[in-house]
Homo-oligomer: A and B are copies of this chain.
């Protein structure tokens, strides 16, 4: 059978992911990986998982295992209403849609909003999971400039002024891959620009709860509530394997998100939503979150110290107040892909930063380093290896 003839046009345009290809070697035995982008298993509240499950079966019985509303399990939506309120977002339970991870929101937004050739404005560099959610709907990407404080508002304004942008996608806090955070003034300025050009922002906020220093910043959503779809997840503060994400979207979009989600997966696991509801409303998150931050903060500090110790002059890196990543920039023109292969040969892995740009010719001198998956001593060892390799390559 000639299966290639069967593929949809959109599928023929998808190539095997270059980043996946080069990261295949990361699982080799003995490799220290700073390449991952996932939470440490030690961050999951394993001590209460059985209790949460028992509590769910006692409280909801078989209803926790039955089909449920596409919009989400109501006790979780109520708990999420309180959760986002603590971030300054006013949303009733009815205004919250639960999805299968925040990936599920991004896919649904793509399905609802993107026609082939539509232009989506993204940061350079940007989060790849969003690109892989949007790509099947065949958009084109418009890049916006960033600096150490994230998106440069003037770049957003220039892109919107030129017109024809369907929506803007941003990770304003502890961005993946850079760890950068938009300061308050830029958030307000971005909100003002969105309103001025009547534009829609998809604000993706998976990391803001992982703050190790400094003061929480309000989401852009609160400054332009009608122009922002706020997207978040419990993957970083509870457990990613449960696949529970959510969004707060303007009403007219929400209706369509529910309709397309019904066709995609009917609804997100009722049982997992009930576990999440218990975790939030039982006060477990409030109790456990400081422990997660206590786990990651010294890992981040170890990485910052090691970069200072082992990296040569001509390199700079972000020092975010939270999140999971640091972003390293080497001397202009230095290609981090050969560095990657040499580092891997010495058993330390990272992600060359160019893979996070929609134009792969950008960012060749950058690296993304993750610090959530290894302990401080291991991080020190890996960064020392990276420091040696970049010194030899410089």
Interface of A toward B, CB cutoff 8 Å: 1-4, 6-11, 14, 16-17, 38-39, 41-42, 44, 46, 49-50, 53-54, 57, 61-68, 100-101, 103-104, 107, 111-115, 118, 129, 132-133, 135-137, 166-167, 198, 200, 226-227, 235, 239-243, 250, 252-253, 256, 259-260, 262-272
Alpha-carbon distance between A42 and B133 when the two chains are bound, in angstroms: 38
- Given A1-B227, A6-B166, A107-B263, 8 further pairs, Cβ under 8 A: A8-B112, A50-B54, A64-B241, A68-B241, A129-B263, A135-B263, A242-B270, A269-B269
CB distance from A280 to the nearest CB of B (A): 16
Contacts of A252 in B (CB 8 A): 3-4
Please, which residues of chain B bring their CB within 8 A of the CB of A17? 259
Distance of A78 Cα from B25 Cα, bound (Å): 25
**A42 surroundings in chain B (CB, below 8 A):** 62
CB contacts (< 8 Å) of A16 on chain B: these are 259
CB contacts (< 8 Å) of A271 on chain B: these are 239, 241-242, 272
The distance from the CB of A116 to the nearest CB of chain B, in whole angstroms, is: 8
Q: Tell whether, in the assembled complex, residue B167 and residue A6 are in contact, meaning their CB atoms are under 8 Å apart.
A: yes
| A243 partner, pick from B114, B166, B260, B265, beta carbons under 8 A | B265
Residue of B8, B101, B264 near A113 (CB, 8 A) is: B8
A226: chain B residues at CB < 8 Å are 1
Q: Note all chain B residues with C-beta closer than 8 A to A227.
A: 1
Q: How far is the CA of A103 from the CA of B70 in the complex (A)?
A: 12
Nearest 4 pairs of A and B residues by beta carbon:
A241-B270, A41-B62, A65-B239, A3-B252
Q: Are B65 and A136 in contact (CB-based, < 8 A)? A: no
Write 9 A-B pairs (CB below 8 A) sorted by A numbering: A6-B167, A44-B66, A50-B57, A100-B243, A100-B264, A103-B264, A241-B270, A242-B270, A243-B266
Instruction: Give complex CA distance A50, B186 in Å.
Output: 49
A126 vs B2: C-alpha distance when bound (angstroms): 27
Contact A66 B41, beta carbon cutoff 8 Å: yes
How long is the Cα–Cα vector from A100 to B269 in the complex, in angstroms?
Answer: 8
How far is A4 from B250 in the complex, measured between Cα atoms in Å? Answer: 12
Contact present for A256 and B7 (CB under 8 Å): yes
- Min CB distance A305 to B, Å, is 28
Task: Contact check, A65 vs B240: say whether CB atoms are below 8 A apart.
Answer: yes
Q: How far is the CB of A35 from chain B (nearest CB, A)?
A: 14
List of B residues within 8 angstroms of A260 by Cβ: 11, 14, 136
What is the CA–CA distance of A132 and B264 in the complex, to the nearest angstrom?
A: 8
Bound together, the chains give a CA A264 to CA B167 distance in angstroms of 19
The reply to whether A136 and B263 form a contact with Cβ atoms under 8 Å apart is: yes
Do the beta carbons of B112 and A7 come within 8 Å of each other?
Answer: yes
**Distance to closest chain B CB from A72 (angstroms):** 12
B133–A259 touching, CB < 8 Å: no
Q: Decide: B270 and A114 in contact? CB cutoff 8 A.
A: no
By the criterion CB–CB under 8 Å, are B11 and A38 in contact?
Answer: no
Closest to A135 in B: B263
For A8, give its contact among B114, B129, B241 (CB under 8 Å): B114
Inter-subunit contact A8/B264 (CB<8 Å): no
Contacts A11-B260, A41-B66, A268-B243 given; does A3 touch B250 at CB 8 Å: yes
